[in-house]
Structure 1
Amino acid sequence: MRALTLLSLILLSLLAGCTSYIPATVLPAPSPAQPYVKMVTIPLPVIASSPNEGVTYGALTAFLLHNDKDEVSALFAPQVNQNENFGTTGTLYGAVYPSPLRSIEFNLSKSTKVNSDYEVRLRDQSLMERQLELNVFLYNFTDGSARFFGFGPGSRAEDETNFADREFGYTLSAGYPLTTNILLFLGDRLRRVEVDDGAVTKLPNLQQHFSAAEVPGIDGFSTHAQSISLVYSTLDAPAMASSGIRARATVEGSLAALGSSARFVRYEAEVKGFFPVPDSRFISAGRFAVGQARGSSIPFLERSILGGENTLRGYGRNRFIDNSYVVCNLEERIRLFRWEVFDVKADWELAPFVDIGGVADTVGDLRAGNIEVNPGIGFRAVVRPNILGRIDVGFGKDGPAVFVGLGYPF
């Protein structure tokens, strides 16, 4: 019901939008050849929900700037919202797409209680005559809704605890093509974590319920890790693919000599594919991923984690934690209709899905009884080639979970 209400409010809000044409002398145009900038302004209600954060209400105004191909080349969205746990939050989100090979995203957010989020993400595939792909992510955030239930597939809902996850760091990766479809990526990431009192006062505090001996990293930790990945890709688009396959194998090492609190090695493999019918009205999408971390005293937030809007959508973030995981996501993306409002073309999609996965100490320890199966339904509004808003409702053993956000889950 909440998802249907949100979609109805969005449809009504679109009718209140407007289109403006601003001279390029006043507002810089995405393309030098443009004499003016087409800007679509759309006020929207904010009704977001997730198992960890609860329900958030508010309002935003989306400003969509178009390039000379009449594609959305930039989005800016200031918003103010209210949440019972975090109080009032002011946010400015922006996404700029100077070309199909380059994108910049940023988010600036501050709440009156605990939460904050400052991050910038850059992707550039145009370097060295398109021979080098660079990805940069810088962040500093505090999440007062973070959860910990214990380790292993048998962690109980009754042991749910809350804490504030305070982090800052970066993730860097550079990819170079070995062949037409195979890329080699080298990566480096720095992560510093502090654990503090959370914002959800109705739950026990993590540090009062568990000890440092039980949960490594509960007093904070640092990770400085390097990785190497081999990627095979035939995707037709990097962010919102409608056809093709992408396979990735990654090895990452964390060394105390380089500033990490613990020494460990992580192995991961992932395959995802998108298979459309000829007119792309139906797209069958799937992902299979497996990972394992080995080492002593690995911090709890560096282990394998399932739960949340991109893995097991029947649970909140951090629901299951252990050293290894397996997850499979399957969904059918069905375009219901294509609607154009104020010259903004949007595809409205329905996406029934099922998420299957589990955690264990090693992949070989996984048993059928430890595998979670989360069916659900998704609703998406897609403005190609860059923007997607979605609502996913998943069902797990703890009850239904509702997620509202941006971007496909995989």
Structure 2
Amino acid sequence: MQRIVLLLFILGTSLLAACTTMVPREKLPYPITDASFGDPVKVVTIPLPVIATSPNEGAILGGLTAFLLHNARDEVNTLIAPQVNYNANFGTTFSLYGAFFPLPNRNWEFNLSTSTKVNEDYEVRLRDKTFLDGKLETNAFIYNFTDGSARFFGFQSDSRKEDETNYADKEYGFTLGVGYDIIDHLQLVVGERFRQVSIRRGAVSKLPSIRDRFTDSQVPGINGFTAHAQKLSLIYNTLDSRDMPTRGLYAKAAIEGSAEFLGSDASYRHYEAELKGYFPLKEARYITVARVAYNQTLGSDVPFLERSILGGESTLRGYGRNRFIDSSYFLCNLEERIRLFRWSVFDVNTDWEVAPFIDLGAVMESLDKTRSKNFEFNPGIGFRAVVRPNIVGRVDIGVGNDGPAVFVGLGYPF
């Protein structure tokens, strides 16, 4: 708890060091600004320390500077954040993150990152729901990354900490989706996904490499694989906001198929079901958020990273990414988002939230073979800084059987 207090103190002190400047718009060309900005442009500059840790990556220390550009309505429409940090496994990492919100129904973001050892990340994500009077939504995600911190423990819920291995997950690919609003709140989505994966030696020298402990007969995909899949989803959505909902329901059912004759290394199917609810009290000062999700993978020789996976900042927050892998999973998340206070620093209104949570989930061969002993119970607490309508910074601390896990990032976990 003393570390958490220290972190919040450092964060608060950094915000007090922020400054606001007015920059002529001609010096901030498109896409940094667009027609929605006034002239001059208000730019709020906030230096922040980077003090993070996660089960897979370990401790990260460094600093970033966030540049928040306000449009003519005094909303944050552009975020640019260069960052430099150090990690014992990856050395020094240089990165540049950008998020752009030119319209309420159009946004895009990018991340460019490279380390002096193993890690790199280049990705672009776009969303546009302005076509056909807002009835047609397009999404695209293009990426190329290498994660030298990846872990594999074995399959099933009883995989052991003693069997932990490390590898470098090197991938490139894309995900595309086109959705059409059939009626109010109901959307049909057609998706296409391509994924090329290479498995290399990781950056964590204290752990054995994945191929030192497992073989390709035990773990399909351990020597790399290609996945090319097509997806059909039906989504019911009454949320009042896409990025920061305070009320409403979200339900999704999806089926995805991967076929060898279309370029995949194996043929298999994914089935997904998810239900989320947001229930506010006292003018949304308290928001109860609940999620239930089920995922099933059917097929033979399914690559291990294409199966049903739990662990990480958006599922079981008491464990690192990809901690549990099997043919299916069942997941429940419950958290209470509590707004402690609203603080305005240099005319940037920020909601400071605390969010106690419980994550409950299990992987299994199939739902009918679920046993109570398979489930992992992860209590925890989150701290969030929210700049509406589109930016969330968060720290989530979960506790699992392997010990505590801390995740630092952007956006709500679900």
CA distance 1:259–1:77, change in 2 (3 Å): same
Choose from 292, 296, 318 the match for 1:292. 296
Structure 1 unaligned spans of 5+: none
Q: Do the aligned residues in 1 keep the contact of 2:155 with 2:326 (CA within 8 Å)?
A: yes
- Deviation, 1:27, is 2.1
SS class of match (2:211): helix
Choose from 175, 184, 199 the match for 1:171. 175
- Deviation, 1:35, is 2.1
- Deviation, 1:6, is 2.1
Counterparts of 1:2-401 in structure 2, within 5 Å, are 2-28=3-29, 29-32=33-36, 34-401=38-405
Per-residue CA distance 1:25-81 (angstroms, 9 max, x = gap): 222444356121110001110111100000100011000000111110000000100
Q: Distance in 2 between matches of 1:321 and 1:15?
A: 44
Aligned length: 410
Per-residue CA distance 1:13-33 (angstroms, 9 max, x = gap): 011110011122222444356
Percent identity, please: 60
Q: Do the aligned residues in 2 keep the contact of 1:165 with 1:193 (CA within 8 Å)?
A: yes
Q: Distance in 1 between matches of 2:232 and 2:26?
A: 46
Q: Distance in 2 between matches of 1:243 and 1:139?
A: 32
With the length of structure 2 as denominator, give the TM-score of the two structures. Answer: 0.98
Q: Do the aligned residues in 2 keep the contact of 1:171 with 1:187 (CA within 8 Å)?
A: yes
Q: Distance in 1 between matches of 2:186 and 2:84?
A: 43
- Deviation, 1:153, is 0.5
Q: Do the aligned residues in 2 keep the contact of 1:138 with 1:171 (CA within 8 Å)?
A: yes
SS class of match (1:7): helix
Structure 2 unaligned spans of 5+: none
Which residue is equivalent to 1:408? 412
Q: Distance in 2 between matches of 1:33 and 1:209?
A: 56
Per-residue CA distance 1:202-244 (angstroms, 9 max, x = gap): 0010011100000000000000000000000000111111111
With the length of structure 1 as denominator, give the TM-score of the two structures. Answer: 0.99
Q: Distance in 2 between matches of 1:386 and 1:4?
A: 26
Per-residue CA distance 1:247-292 (angstroms, 9 max, x = gap): 0000000000110001000100000011101411100001100010
User: Over aligned residues, Cα RMSD in angstroms?
Assistant: 0.9
Q: Distance in 2 between matches of 1:386 and 1:267?
A: 30
Q: Distance in 1 between matches of 2:194 and 2:374?
A: 32
Q: Which moved more, 1:108-117 or 1:9-18?
A: 9-18
- Deviation, 1:167, is 0.2
Q: Do the aligned residues in 2 keep the contact of 1:31 with 1:68 (CA within 8 Å)?
A: no
SS class of match (2:27): coil
Q: Distance in 1 between matches of 2:295 and 2:327?
A: 8
Q: Do the aligned residues in 1 keep the contact of 2:36 with 2:72 (CA within 8 Å)?
A: no
Q: Distance in 1 between matches of 2:254 and 2:26?
A: 47
